[in-house]
Amino acid sequence: MIEQFKTIRAALRCIPAKQASKRHAALKALSILAAIIHVQDVRILQLNNMIPLDEVGNPATQEYIDALLSRPRNH
């Protein structure tokens, strides 16, 4: 995604100077969009880290989780 933003920024810089206000507004909107996408990516990573996995990395089933919880614990 970062490469696409770099390409868009480069294209926006080609807008003639007489339309600088439009170029500035478009660059600002692109920066806001990049920030929103970054926040969403962080949230997705956080959610992914919350999903319990089995021994081979697949999402754990409720049966698997129940079996883990029913094992005797060694203290």
28-56 pLDDT tens trace? 988 888 888 888 887 777 776 777 777 77
Question: So where are the chain's domains?
Answer: 2-70
Task: Count the Cβ atoms, other than its own, within 10 Å of residue 21.
Answer: 9
Is residue 1 very low, low, confident or very high in pLDDT (cuts 50, 70, 90)?
low
Is residue 65 very low, low, confident or very high in pLDDT (cuts 50, 70, 90)?
confident
Across residues 6-27, what is the average pLDDT? 87
Residue 34 buriedness (CB in 10 A; 0-12 / 13-18 / 19+):
middle
Question: What pTM was computed for the model?
Answer: 0.50
